[in-house]
Structure 1
Amino acid sequence: MAGHGVPADDFVGRKFSYLVVGGGTAGLCVAARLSEDPDITVGILEAGAGHIQDPAIDVPGRYGEGIGTAYDWQYETTAQPGLGGRKLPWPRGKVLGGTSALNFMTWNRPNREDLDSWAELGIAGWSWDEMLPYYKKSEKFSPPDSEDVTEHRLVHDPTALGTDGPVAVSYSKEYSPSHRLWHDTLANLNVQTNEAHLSGSSIGAWTTITAVDAGSRTRSYAAPAYYLPNAARPNLVLCTSATVTEVVLENDQSASKWAAKGVRFHCEGKQYAATASEEVIICAGSVASPQLLELSGIGSPSVLEAAGTPVKISNPNVGEHLQDHIMTATIYEIDPSVPNPDTLRNDPVAAAMADHIYATTKGGPRTILPVSLCYLPLTHFVSPSRLSSLAERASTATPRDIARKCRLEQAQRLGQIEYIFDVGNWSTTMPPEKASQQEGRGKKAYATLLQILQYPFSLGSIHISPHHPHGKPIIDPQYYAGAQGPLDLEIQELCAQFGQKIVDTPPLRDFVQRRVWPPENLTEEEELRTWIVENTVTDWHPVGTCSMGGREGSEAGVVDERLRVYGVEGLRVVDASVMPLQIGAHLQATVYAIAEKAGDMIREDRRR
């Protein structure tokens, strides 16, 4: 079922109170909540197609199949000096549901301190206590069976979870063979199981919840959660395959203010315009939201003028302050008889059998997801003197710099590094001869330890191209580069050393046979550093490019605490780009919570 919504010709003939740009994770949530009021008419413009009931999206164990396809914008970074000149693919969802249709379904929350640090920047209303109701409002948690709780360490605080929201979340029913070793291995390193990992602290080892419907065992994402149940509402109108190219801004000369009045978009080779009587709400994500602002004349004069775009609102923060989670994948060889997802990718017979099991029982390999997580503070394995040395080199030029530096201080109990272990080869950089399934001695099987830096000092940018402003934007995360980037590289080295310690600890030690990537003979510190530079990739969690300004206002941000774009009436941004500081968590649940809160704020402002 690929098509959804109305034709563009029909869409532009409607009268809308609000236009939502982007039918993704945030956009569909905001639109659904606003359309609960029958006096409000909401139009959604989504660049991708519907692709509802597509097994490549819906079947949990087929995670990753949408990446690099028509469902993906297929962005790419610029050559990164800090990564040896490599360019990285940057997947982002171009499909109804956005990146929630492509991600790996992990469902977790940041630390209390992460959100409280936003409030400390003067961003009122965004502390942990104020955001928790919105996390809960978005989710419908199905508790696990008692036998699963015992066998798979499925511990959590039930009072912290929502039970009647749109997004179905649950624990898995089946697990990879390495998961049974995870909690005991970490316990042997004095890392305890976190029994309340959704309650404000992610520190410790835990089995993560995922965005999977417990009944159907299908991915729960924005399209089936927020759009489909409400698609019959006459005041909720969707147009797919519609790419917005500009927000129409009009200047009220008497008030000396700009106001958003609608958008221009193209669909199936034709150009269109749609109007909104109340607001335009940009929910295009951390890549496309700053791009659209710049195409509309909002941004740094130097960027806009280079692209030939007239400057309407000068704000040099648009597209800046980009922060991303930084990841490496260490690969280990395991017993080839161990079931792993690589087999399903490489063996059509095994894949067909797994598909049959899933179709008939909603079980088997197609329901297994990576759920063995651990977040640790650096204090767990970095000496106080080394940590102090790192903190001393951190910048204190701005309030946000100070907040990032504070996260390195010994008193902070934050999950600064995330480890995930699962069977299968997750590396995108391992040489093909290493990854071969027929490597001399016969068939190979692998497992991966992912290491993901949560609070990067590397700061990048996303801007329109001066030569092709309507093409793909220039994405420059500045991994390990700039004045502060070397701090990230040094921290990653320390974390890699502890990561190897995890795998060298029983019972996980007995599960792996040898390290494959990096090679076992790589031992010198300089060799490890080189390997990290050559093998670091994105964890697909960009934030900050249209961030909230807090008490510094437009001097530091793009939107205020109510997500209104500075200097423009009737224009908001609602997505991960508004986050002023990176969080120690996968982004999905927080993006839904931001959108839930935005829905309430927009309705409150409308009543004033």
Structure 2
Amino acid sequence: MATQTSLPTALAKPFDYIVVGGGTAGLVVASRLTEDSDVRVLVIEAGADRTADPLIQVPGLVAAVYGNKDYDWNFSSVPQPELHNRCINQARGKMLGGSSALNFMMLLYPSKGILDAWASLGNSGWDFESLSPYLNKFATVHTPPQSARDVLGLTYHNDGLASGDGPIQVSFSEGYGPMNVAWMNTFAEQGLEVKADHRSGKVLGAFQNAASIDPATKTRSFAATAYYNAEVRQRTNLVVLTETVGNKIILDTTGSEPVATGVGIVTKDGQKIEVSASVEIILAAGALQTPQILELSGIGGQDLLQKHGIPVVVNNANVGEGMQDHPIVCQSFEVKDGVPSGDVLRDPAVVQALMGMYATTGGGGPMGQSNISVAYAPIVDASGPVSASAKKDLFAAHEATCLTTPAQQAIRNLIESPTEPAIQYLLFPTQITITDNPVNMGEYIIPSRPENYFTVMTVLNHPFSRGSVHITSADVSALPAWDPMYNSNKLDMEVLSRAVQFVERLVAPTSPFGSLLKGGEKERLPPIVADDLEKAKEIVRQRQISVFHVSGSCSMLPREQGGVVDNRLRVYGVGKLRVVDASVFPLEPLGNIQATVYAVAERAADLIKEDRAARA
């Protein structure tokens, strides 16, 4: 049975594969590999199995897990100079299923342009056409209920597109309301009425995305319930060790090239054991901790490793570099009396009543829903979409200092197109509180003011800035230092602040959305009207945080261009070692990244199977 197994007897015989990290990607790979009963796989996960925990199952309880050491690694960035030296919190799932167990369940798909750009950087086989089958494979997308169609129309939704029959259950809510309708109508008035399903790979405008919620049970559908379901748990060829830390890759250095042969682990009761794999080690610890494990194993920048007394096995300073994250600027606007807002959940009696409704109606009511809406836009400013000539002028002014790498040039080529969404807007149903040094992610989203708000979130889809994540100690229990270096590339601030200016058009009293808001500076957070570019930049400095989408720290690129893995996700300079998680993204995809992580992991499983067959 694929569960926590007694030690060390169950680990004496080498496995074929060891997967380090039982998160979003790791469980996909383990599940797919063990479809072959002759393949033995071990999964090592630092967190516990919380698939039956209501805090994970119930979509509306997501805020309760943030900062809890049993659920969340709870990273905090170093101070960010371009954000008034604020530290930015980053929740990371510390449990079976990883961050798929604590995200906001939004299910959006990468654009054709960004995946084709992946391929253009030297990654054959990773274009939109190649990855599309895997974007279908991971999920079953249920058709929108009639109640959703009645409220939002959803005429652009193509029931036959990317529907798939995979284990992740994807559905639409039954609780969309006047704010969602006003959102769609406001963007339509700005010339951004959506014409096609966003899963087609090319779309602009406001639309209603689906969420990773099982419509039958109204519970979160995530890697641990989908790819490690009751059937998979019965496989005798899959062993999953929870509450077990993988602290280093064991490398055989006797040959011409080091080869990964096993993993050093620390069990819940403190046992230190080395477990062996005869075929391959697969690192799937996520964009913040996969680089950590590589560096602890002697794979990384020579100077850093020597500083911490770690013998250098492979000198590759690209490890932990190239970090990308979507910056998100959160502007909260007070709603008029009578307009529904999620801020009512500040009242414990309301939460109790809604949980009672959820429990007695089979998941009915807001606790089983996700009602966040989305819009994609090209580069915009206070006047609307920016002209082609204005884009060229903007990029030309920064060409010498901000557009110096092939990756940055690829982004420029992409967002100069009038059809590629440079910006994502989110309609979030509560207020957002930004502090200089938040204790955890919950501090951002738990209401701190007595008024009721909605928040317009402005996301930069394709950031030019690159940050890093590196070890601070040779001890695996010390979290690595995360420095996203937000807006260190000045183009990010220029594009993002112009997009913040565009928000004034969305909240204008004459717009459908603005008509539901109270007007004036006092009814917004921060109390700044972005009526010029400098004010918009100040809003960015005060109100930008992270949106959970860290990636790129072990990029799939040629090594000379900053790469850590090749286009089959094999680590440069090491045999039998592969990385499968968001750290391999060469460029950040637009929108929320969970669909891309699932698709990459599905394709990685096929690559691993192909390589195994070729060796047979």
- Structure-1-length-normalised TM-score: 0.93
Unaligned runs of 5+ residues in structure 2 are 439-443
- Give the residue type in structure 2 aligned to 1:137: K
| C-alpha distance 448-469 of structure 1, shift in aligned 2 (>3 A) | same
**Distance in 2 (alpha carbons) for counterparts of 1:195 and 1:430:** 40
Q: Does 1:575 align with 2:581?
A: yes
| C-alpha distance 527-431 of structure 1, shift in aligned 2 (>3 A) | farther
Q: Deviations over 1:424-465 (max 9, x none)?
A: 113334999x999897xxx52111101111111111111111
Q: Does 1:561 align with 2:560?
A: no
**Distance in 2 (alpha carbons) for counterparts of 1:422 and 1:80:** 25
With 413-422 and 122-131 compared, the bigger mean Cα shift is at 413-422
Residue 592 of structure 1 corresponds to which residue in structure 2? 598
- Give the residue type in structure 1 aligned to 2:121: L
Residue 552 of structure 2 corresponds to which residue in structure 1? 544
Residue 424 of structure 1 corresponds to which residue in structure 2? 430
Q: Does 1:493 align with 2:497?
A: yes
**Distance in 1 (alpha carbons) for counterparts of 2:108 and 2:326:** 15
Residue 330 of structure 1 corresponds to which residue in structure 2? 331
Aligned residues of 1:390 and 1:408 also touching (Cα < 8 A): no
Residue 441 of structure 2 corresponds to which residue in structure 1? none
1:471 aligned residue (478, 492, 497)? 478
Aligned residues of 1:142 and 1:163 also touching (Cα < 8 A): no
- Give the residue type in structure 1 aligned to 2:507: V
Residue 46 of structure 1 corresponds to which residue in structure 2? 45
Q: Deviations over 1:220-261 (max 9, x none)?
A: 0000000123011000110000111100000233xx011100
* CA displacement at 1:533 relative to structure 2: 0.9
**Distance in 2 (alpha carbons) for counterparts of 1:428 and 1:357:** 32
| C-alpha distance 92-573 of structure 1, shift in aligned 2 (>3 A) | same
What SS does structure 2 have at the residue aligned with 1:354? helix
Residue 350 of structure 1 corresponds to which residue in structure 2? 350
With 526-535 and 221-230 compared, the bigger mean Cα shift is at 526-535
- Give the residue type in structure 2 aligned to 1:501: R
Residue 75 of structure 2 corresponds to which residue in structure 1? 75
Aligned pairs (5 A) from 1:402-413? 402-409=409-416, 411-413=417-419
- Give the residue type in structure 1 aligned to 2:63: G
* CA displacement at 1:368 relative to structure 2: 3.0
- Give the residue type in structure 2 aligned to 1:422: F
| C-alpha distance 96-436 of structure 1, shift in aligned 2 (>3 A) | closer
**Distance in 1 (alpha carbons) for counterparts of 2:266 and 2:448:** 48
Residue 121 of structure 1 corresponds to which residue in structure 2? 121
**Distance in 2 (alpha carbons) for counterparts of 1:461 and 1:500:** 33
| Number of aligned residues | 593
Q: Does 1:511 align with 2:510?
A: no
What SS does structure 1 have at the residue aligned with 2:229? helix
* CA displacement at 1:343 relative to structure 2: 1.7
- Give the residue type in structure 2 aligned to 1:74: N
Aligned residues of 2:501 and 2:530 also touching (Cα < 8 A): no
Aligned residues of 2:139 and 2:166 also touching (Cα < 8 A): yes
Q: Does 1:60 align with 2:65?
A: no
Residue 540 of structure 2 corresponds to which residue in structure 1? 532
RMSD: 2.2
- Structure-2-length-normalised TM-score: 0.92
Residue 169 of structure 1 corresponds to which residue in structure 2? 170
Structure 1's consecutive aligned runs of 4 or more residues displaced over 4 angstroms after TM superposition are 434-439, 466-470, 520-524
What SS does structure 2 have at the residue aligned with 1:158? coil
Q: Deviations over 1:99-143 (max 9, x none)?
A: 000100000111101000011112011110110100111001111
Aligned residues of 1:60 and 1:368 also touching (Cα < 8 A): yes
Q: Deviations over 1:365-386 (max 9, x none)?
A: 2123233100101165224443
Aligned residues of 2:433 and 2:447 also touching (Cα < 8 A): no
Q: Does 1:457 align with 2:458?
A: no
* CA displacement at 1:555 relative to structure 2: 4.7
Aligned pairs (5 A) from 1:265-284? 265-268=265-268, 269-284=270-285
* CA displacement at 1:363 relative to structure 2: 1.2
Aligned residues of 1:306 and 1:466 also touching (Cα < 8 A): no
Q: Deviations over 1:350-373 (max 9, x none)?
A: 111100111111211212323310
What SS does structure 2 have at the residue aligned with 1:277? strand
Residue 364 of structure 1 corresponds to which residue in structure 2? 365
- Give the residue type in structure 1 aligned to 2:95: V
Q: Deviations over 1:362-419 (max 9, x none)?
A: 211212323310010116522444322321214443321211221342x352111111
Q: Does 1:382 align with 2:386?
A: yes
What SS does structure 1 have at the residue aligned with 2:370? coil
* CA displacement at 1:156 relative to structure 2: 1.8
Residue 446 of structure 1 corresponds to which residue in structure 2? 453
| C-alpha distance 274-511 of structure 1, shift in aligned 2 (>3 A) | same
Aligned residues of 1:303 and 1:466 also touching (Cα < 8 A): no
**Distance in 1 (alpha carbons) for counterparts of 2:500 and 2:50:** 39
Residue 95 of structure 1 corresponds to which residue in structure 2? 95
- Give the residue type in structure 2 aligned to 1:541: H
With 384-393 and 168-177 compared, the bigger mean Cα shift is at 384-393
What SS does structure 2 have at the residue aligned with 1:63? helix
Aligned residues of 1:295 and 1:470 also touching (Cα < 8 A): no
* CA displacement at 1:578 relative to structure 2: 0.4
What SS does structure 1 have at the residue aligned with 2:331? strand
What SS does structure 2 have at the residue aligned with 1:369? coil
**Distance in 2 (alpha carbons) for counterparts of 1:467 and 1:243:** 14
**Distance in 1 (alpha carbons) for counterparts of 2:485 and 2:212:** 31
Aligned residues of 1:194 and 1:206 also touching (Cα < 8 A): no
